[in-house]
Amino acid sequence: MFAWPGLGRLLIDSIAMRDYPVLMGIFLMISISVAVANLCTDLVYSLLDPRIKYA
């Protein structure tokens, strides 16, 4: 997350200034990114291993 240009600094500054709407937006973006990464991992894992079956 801190490798994204400016996002890590924005997070730190928002914590220091208690800018809650910006913090919620950043956390929402991070949460959605994690959920999409987990979904992609599950889909690729099911393609690579034929023993995995999703009902």
User: Tens digit of pLDDT for each residue in 14-52?
Assistant: 999 999 999 999 999 999 999 999 999 988 988 898 888
**Mean pLDDT within 1-8:** 70
What phi-psi label fits residue 47: left (phi over 0), alpha (psi between -120 and 50 degrees) or beta? alpha
Cβ pair 10, 16 in contact under 8 A: no
Q: Is the pTM of this model over 0.75?
A: no
pLDDT band at 13 (very low <50, low <70, confident <90, very high): very high
